[in-house]
Homo-oligomer: A and B are copies of this chain.
Amino acid sequence: MIEAASFGARLGVAFERFGHLCVGVDPHPYLLAEWNLPDTAAGARDFGLRVVSAAAGTAGIVKPQVAFFERYGSAGLVALEEIMAAAREAGLLVIADAKRGDIGSTVAAYGEAWLTPGAPLEADAMTVNAFQGVGSLAEPIALAASAGKGLFVLAATSNPEAIAPQTAVIGRGPLAGRSVAASIVDEVRRNNANWVGDDGLGPFGVVIGATVHLGDYGITAADLVGTPILAPGFGHQGAGYEVIDGVYGAASPGAVISSSRAILAAGPTGVRAAIETEANALARVFAA
């Protein structure tokens, strides 16, 4: 297992050993049908355990999409708990794609749910939503730093409806003039400096889609150096790996490249080979 270090350090180890691929664990109903599994919590469990087994030893990171488990209610979370435990036991870093957000003691409770060592839903990192301000996330930020866990804060996402609110310009406070997305990047970087202060990757990352143009948000790649970047939007959502350098530039060494449906569409017998194919393709891009 990758343990006993900050999340940024553990992420760096995963990159070195296995490259930048992050395998999505997304039991979409249509994928369950393609895999000949029932659209139930038990089906999602079997699906997830199969993906974890296929990823172990080939990829370093998996990202379960919490919504597809929550869809079954508490039984779905039982399945997710089992899948995440199996993944961590196999040495995979687990990013729970939960996109949780709230304030004060409420968002603290979300942090405790997903980041407390020994908790049933323990992951290595989770995605969070800063619509209520990055400052609203103070409690999970402190918890993550103290527990060796990570956070990925949504910043510039790849869906077209997100462009208007995420490029909106802040008019007051110390970040006046920055876009909403850029202000999140700035505050995350500041938190990394506060909590880590070294030259490696910090524990706090951002989500920036592969189809965005950083310039539209007033973000430069230099703003992102040292900040882990969770990068969805590849494959099914339209971008090829060849865009990585163009989008993330100097920050690419911190990029977690998420691929889900392109891998999962290979089915239960093809998923391991699909993961190897994607990992090799990414390795070529990062070596270039």
**B67, A131: Cβ atoms closer than 8 Å:** no
Could you list which residues of chain A lie within 8 angstroms of chain B, going by C-beta atoms? Answer: 26, 28, 65, 67-68, 70-78, 80-81, 99-107, 109-110, 112-113, 119-121, 129-136, 154, 157, 159-173, 175, 179-180, 183
**A165, B109: Cβ atoms closer than 8 Å:** no
- CA distance in complex: A167, B183 (Å): 13
A164's contact among B72, B105, B172, by CB below 8 Å, is which? B172
- CA distance in complex: A194, B72 (Å): 30
Instruction: Tell me whether A67 and B170 are in contact in the complex, defined as CB-CB below 8 angstroms, given that A113-B73, A165-B183 are known contacts.
Output: no
- CA distance in complex: A92, B97 (Å): 32
- CA distance in complex: A109, B39 (Å): 12
Which residue of the partner chain B has the closest CB to A168?
A: B168
**A74, B78: Cβ atoms closer than 8 Å:** yes
Q: Which residues of B contact A74 (CB under 8 A)?
A: 74-75, 77-78, 80-81, 120-121
**A133, B113: Cβ atoms closer than 8 Å:** no
- CA distance in complex: A132, B168 (Å): 12
Q: Which residues of B contact A162 (CB under 8 A)?
A: 103, 131-133, 136
* Subset of 27 A-B contacts with CB under 8 Å: A67-B100, A68-B106, A71-B109, A71-B112, A72-B113, A72-B120, A73-B81, A73-B119, A73-B120, A74-B80, A74-B120, A99-B101, A103-B161, A130-B131, A130-B165, A131-B131, A132-B165, A132-B166, A133-B159, A133-B162, A133-B164, A136-B161, A136-B162, A163-B173, A165-B183, A167-B170, A168-B169
